[in-house]
Each structure stands twice: as C-alpha cells, then as structure tokens.
C-alpha cells in the first residue's frame, strides 16, 4: 500500500484548521489516518478493494501531528479515521460502512469522480 502523504506537510505559516480544510477538499477521497490505527487500515483496505485510490494523510507522520489532530477533531468531532468524499465530511469507519450497506457509498464515489464503473 503506497503512502502518498509523507511529503504533504503544512507550511509553517498555515493554520492547522486551514490545512485540514485544504487537504479535505483537495482530493476526491481523503482519509485522515494514523499509521498505528487498525480501523484506519481497514477503511483504506475497503477503498482500495473498491478500486478507489484515496489520498491518505497520516497525521502521526506530520511534525505538527498534535496540532493537526486537534484541528481535525474540533472541525469534525471525530477521531481517525476521518473520511471525506468529494470534499464533504462523511465520518469514521462506521459511517462509511453504513453508506456502503445502504447503497449510497458507490454513487457518492462516482459523483466525486473517484469511481467510474
């Protein structure tokens, strides 16, 4: 599993909240993750299995991880994994699974341009 996130750190002058919003809106599917969190791993596997290539942002690899994590939890009210699709906050693993089970995950991914088939 590749990790594209490592080189994507916020510039020092960027506020953590602004950075979180920018990352969340910057790709069709964004997962804020921690490399040690098993639900983060599971949600990545779910998306990769569907043929979706999410932008994975490993919060704990960021030198400003504590600040980013605080901004993330204050803006979403959720701990990692935090999933955004098409720039919109979806939620954590449980919400993604709920969307998957009720049949709205695939249309959401297609609308966001993350899935074509």
Ligand X SMILES: *[C@@H]1O[C@H](CO)[C@@H](O)[C@H](O)[C@H]1NC(C)=O
Touching ligand X, residues 82-111 (CB under 6 A): 95, 98-99, 102, 104
Residues contacting residue 46 through CB under 8 Å, at least 6 positions apart = 96, 97, 100
Q: Which is nearer to ligand X, 59 or 90 (CB)?
A: 90
Q: How far is the CB of 98 from ligand X (least distance, A)?
A: 4
The residue with tokens 């490399």 is 35
Total residues binding ligand X (CB under 6 A): 5
Q: Which is nearer to ligand X, 36 or 98 (CB)?
A: 98
Taking CA atoms, 68 is separated from 38, 47, 106, in Å, by: 20, 23, 29
Q: Which is nearer to ligand X, 21 or 106 (CB)?
A: 106
Taking CA atoms, 113 is separated from 49, 64, 73, 98, 110, in Å, by: 16, 30, 26, 20, 5
Q: How far is the CB of 103 from ligand X (least distance, A)?
A: 7
Q: How far is the CB of 10 from ligand X (least distance, A)?
A: 30
Q: Which residues bind ligand X (CB under 6 A)?
A: 95, 98-99, 102, 104
């Amino acid at each position: 599993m590749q990790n594209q996130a490592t080189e994507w750190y916020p510039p020092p002058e960027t506020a953590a909240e602004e950075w979180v919003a920018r990352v969340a809106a910057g790709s069709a599917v964004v997962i804020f993750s921690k490399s040690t969190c098993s639900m983060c791993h599971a949600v990545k596997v779910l998306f990769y299995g569907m043929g979706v290539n999410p932008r994975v942002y490993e919060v704990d690899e960021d030198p400003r991880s504590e600040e980013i994590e605080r901004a993330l939890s204050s803006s979403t009210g959720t701990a990692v994994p935090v999933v955004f699709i098409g720039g919109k906050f979806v939620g954590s693993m449980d919400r993604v699974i709920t969307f998957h089970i009720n049949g709205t995950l695939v249309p959401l991914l297609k609308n966001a341009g993350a899935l074509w088939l």
